[in-house]
Amino acid sequence: MSDIIHLLPDSVANQIAAGEVIQRPASVLKELIENAIDAGATAIHILVRQAGKTLIQVSDNGRGMSETDARMAFERHTTSKIRDASDLFVLNTLGFRGEALASIAAVAQVEMHTRREEDDLGTLIEIAASRVFRQEIVQCAKGTTFQVKNLFFNVPARRRFLKSDNAERNHLLQEFFRIALAYPQIEFEYYDDQTLVYQLASTNTKCRIEAIFGKSQKKKWEQQLLTVEVNSTLVTVRGFAGKPEFAQRTANQYFFVNKRYMRHPYFHRAVMMAYDRLLQPNENPNYFIYFELSPETIDVNIHPAKTEIKFENESAIFSILSAAVKQTLGKFHVAPSLDFNMEGAPDFQARQSKDFDNIRPPVVQFNPAYNPFNTANTYKRDSSEWEKLYRNLGNSEKPDEKIDFADSNFDPDVLQHFEKDSDTDFFQLKSRFIAVPTKSGLLIVEQHRAHIRILFDKIMAQLTENKPFSQQVMFPEEICFDAADLLFFADLLPELEKAGFVFTKTGDNTFIINGIPSVMNTCSAEKLLHKIIDDSKNTQQNSVSSMHEIIALSLAETAAIRAGQTLAPAEMKDLVQRLFECKENVYSPEGKRVIEILGFAEIEKRFE
Ligand code: ADP
Ligand code: MG
């Protein structure tokens, strides 16, 4: 038998490597901008078409390439940035692997124009699926322009894997922000088709942050950024922390290390520790933190497409960071001063004491089968008898249907508790739970979740039937969106209208909210809409039904009666009855427990 191992052709190897580096249009954009920055560009112009699926173009005024380098650049493992392994440890360029261009050229049609300052003429190269089609001497501007067309044209499986245009546009923008925030002195222009989405002049970090995020809410951004700065031998930390009152559900939180964006869940905790007790539940502060430290003490070489970075002195930096943010918040009188004085920088050490070991983490109960995207029967009802018993209880459509008690140990009389007129059997515990004695035990309902379930089902029905119930607003609020949010809003708009929202467009990214769903009470519609957009950003799905779920859940959450609200017996009865009319009533739409029953067997056991 002949040998069976053979070397893969370059084009195949490149395509495989591309799978690692190039996942979506945003990955191409990132690599091209990073190359432009490494080439010393001071101005970078970006144009994308159809969310980058048909074109991503990046032009720079950097140093350009010679004719030979232009050709070499597309080979795998060709780079001008490192020469040997030791260079890896003192990296000061964004790229170094030399595989981005080879990967892009393996899965797209690429055209590149490039010219160095010292050359009269430049080079044009056309390459697709790793094959060079054209190389010519041409006249062109100093610098380099890449046009990457029809990404994944030769890898249909990857093309299908891409998300909706708006979701991909959002990825592109997020990637763009990460770089534009790290290089405020570089000028950027970002066109989406004909629209100039961002024009960013060369500036300082603070103004760059405001230029990007303050586009629609300028005042809000000017007021909120507090300076963080600390210099130590280990690390320099500078940047901005947002005032707690500007915290939002999905905040803009950025870490950069030596001008490279990174994710760092551990350092995130350090920042959040500094905000301890200054935030409402589910609110997150904006922050932009820039670390500068010796490149030898970090390792960026973990994975080409990953943004995690390893630090040598992680726990020391954690302490420095947390203390620095805390000090900033204290200095600007954001944190209560008493709190600050008593719990300044050394706080983290106290938590690392021996006692820490004795603290047991809370046990979080969740439903492992929970899938927020399945509407129907998300939960397999667990088949405990009492649930079967209650299944048709209060089902107004079929009042006469007999419940089959054959497989139940419960006394059918239990039902009569609900049917008799007396309200006295409903009582409230801690203004949060409704307790109802039944023949088989004590039924306990969490009032807020129960109401969420009821409203959620009702709103979902309205959305699918497209029968909006709207109420006019007395004092209409204005709502503004930044570029990324506007994309999501455009997708959500028809569904929001089905829910009962009425909008009037007053500017490119400004709307007046004239009508709101009739279930809504006093809450701010603007805040709610931003939350809905945040939620839709965070979901993996783009389907209409997932949008419905997000809208219905947000509305239900704001409109539902709260824990802590005292209820009259008649209200409790009404709530419990309506809960039993819901198809699913054991869990709330978020997967939290709504009903429990404390059976008599259990109660009796406790008295043994
Ligand atoms: P890396 O950035 O890791 O070196 P790439 O595949 O991204 O690898 O690029 C290969 C090489 O092509 C770079 O090292 C650089 O010399 C050259 N190059 C790429 N883009 C540009 C550009 N915009 N301007 C000048 N040179 C570039
Ligand atoms: Mg590169």
Which of 248-252, 451-455, 524-528 shows the highest mean pLDDT? Answer: 451-455
Q: How much of the chain exceeds pLDDT 90, in percent?
A: 46
Average pLDDT, the chain: 81
Same domain, 192 and 299: no
| 230 plus 82 within the same structural domain | no
Please give the share of the chain, as a percent, with pLDDT higher than 70. Answer: 78
CATH number at residue 305: 3.30.230.10
* 2 domain-assigned: no
Query: How many angstroms separate the CA atoms of 154 and 195, rounded?
Result: 29
Q: What is the pLDDT of residue 544?
A: 83
pLDDT higher than 60, residue 600: yes
Q: Is the CB of 98 under 6 A from ligand 1?
A: yes
For the segment 388-431, what is each residue's pLDDT rounded down to a tens digit?
333 333 333 333 333 332 333 333 344 444 544 454 788 999 99
pLDDT (tens digit, 9 = 90+) per residue, 154-206?
A: 988 888 888 888 889 999 999 999 999 999 999 999 999 999 999 999 999 99
Claim to verify: residue 294 and residue 428 sit in the same structural domain: no
Is any atom of ligand 1 closer than 6 Å to the C-beta of 39?
Answer: yes
In 337-372, which positions are buried (b, 16+ CB within 10 angstroms) versus exposed (e)? eeebeebeeebbeeeeeeeeeeeeeeeeeebeeeeb
Q: Tell me how far apart the alpha carbons of residues 87 and 82 are, in angstroms, rounded to a whole number.
A: 6
Rounded to whole angstroms, how far apart are CA atoms 32 and 103?
A: 12
Indicate if ligand 1 lies below 6 Å from the C-beta of 457: no
Confirm or reject: Cβ of 58 under 6 Å from ligand 1. Answer: no
Q: Which residues make up the environment of ion ligand 2, defined by Cβ < 5 Å? A: 35, 95, 100
Question: Residue 451 has which token pair?
Answer: 């109401």
What is the residue with the minimal CA distance to atom 20 of ligand 1? 35
CATH of the domain at 544: 3.30.1370.100
Separation of alpha carbons 519 and 457, rounded Å: 12
In a domain, 593, yes or no: yes
Atom nearest to 34 CA in ligand 1: 2
Same domain, 100 and 225: no
| φ/ψ of residue 198, rounded to 5 | -135, 135
Nearest to 499 by CA among 514, 480, 519, 485: 519
Mean pLDDT (whole number) for 421-446: 84
Ligand 1 contacts CB of residue 103 (under 6 A): no
The torsion region of residue 564 among left (phi > 0), alpha (psi -120 to 50) and beta comes to left
Asked whether residue 183 falls in the same domain as residue 292, the answer is no
Question: Which CATH number is 108's domain given?
Answer: 3.30.565.10
Confidence of residue 358 (pLDDT cuts 50, 70, 90): very low
- Quick one: 435 and 552 in the same domain? yes
Q: Is the pLDDT of residue 345 over 50?
A: no
230 and 148 in a common domain: no
Which bound ligand lies closest to the C-alpha atom of 68? 1
Residues 234 and 152 in one domain: no
Residue where a domain terminates, one of 200, 231, 260: 200
**pLDDT single digits (tens) 463-511:** 988 888 888 887 888 999 888 888 889 889 999 999 999 999 998 889 9
- DSSP state letter for 608: -
Same domain for 103 and 128: yes
- Kindly report the three-state secondary structure assignment for every residue of 138-197: ECCCCEEEEEEECCCCCCHHHHHHCCCHHHHHHHHHHHHHHHHHHCCCCEEEEEECCEEE
Please count the structural domains in the chain: 3
The verdict on residue 547 lying in a domain is yes
Does 100 contact ligand 1 (Cβ within 6 A)? yes
Residue 341 lies in a domain: no
DSSP 87: G
525-538 and 544-559 helices cross at what angle (nearest 10)? 140
Q: What is the pLDDT of residue 402?
A: 32
Q: Domain ends where: 302, 331, 360?
A: 331
Domain that holds residue 274: 205-331
pLDDT, residue 364, reads: 44
Name the burial class of residue 25, with classes exposed (0-12), middle (13-18) and buried (19+) by CB atoms within 10 angstroms of its CB: buried
CB 174 within 8 A of CB 30: no
Q: Which of 515, 549, 509 minimizes the C-alpha distance to 532?
A: 549
**In this structure, are 519 and 420 located in the same domain?**
yes
Among the candidates 176, 200, 224, a domain finishes at: 200
Say whether both 175 and 231 belong to one domain: no
pLDDT > 50? residue 387: no
The ligand with the least distance to the CA atom of 78 is 1
Is 349 contained in some domain?
A: no
Give, for 127, the enclosing helix (H) or strand (E): strand 122-128
Strand 510-517 to 502-505 pairing: antiparallel
- Output the CA 332–ligand 2 centroid distance in Å: 41
Is residue 345 within 8 A of residue 319, CB to CB? The reply is: yes
Q: Mapping DSSP to helix (H, G, I), strand (E, B) and coil, where does residue 244 land?
A: helix
* pLDDT at 238 > cutoff 50: yes
Determine if ligand 1 sits within 6 Å of the CB of residue 500. no
Note whether 105 and 83 are same-domain residues. yes
